[in-house]
Amino acid sequence: MNTEALKVVETVLFSLAGASLFSASQLWLYRHGYRNGKEVGEHLGFTKGLYTGKLRENNRLTREAKRDKITTWTNSTGSALSTR
């Protein structure tokens, strides 16, 4: 085959691969948002699912931070029930 024809085929295949990757990522993102909305019992669409997912993540991180803070405090004082 001609080298020019191979370059054209290569460009077309890379373009097709890029378009496929973009489409797959968009479908994954939509599915992720819809699944988050479905878990809370609301089917209000993409943005509601992403919003509730972010709220859940923030609540989890806040609980973990509080638990770590309590653990750190009790470790630094020796005991939470110290009667110094």
The pLDDT of residue 42: 59
pLDDT digits (tens, 9 = 90+) for 25-56: 999 988 887 777 666 665 566 677 778 788 88
Highest mean pLDDT among 15-19, 65-69, 73-77, 79-83: 15-19
**How many angstroms separate the CA atoms of 22 and 53, rounded?**
23
Q: What is the pTM of this model?
A: 0.43
Instruction: Kindly compute the dihedral angle of the four CA atoms of residues 27, 28, 30, 36, in this order, to the nearest 10 degrees.
Output: 160
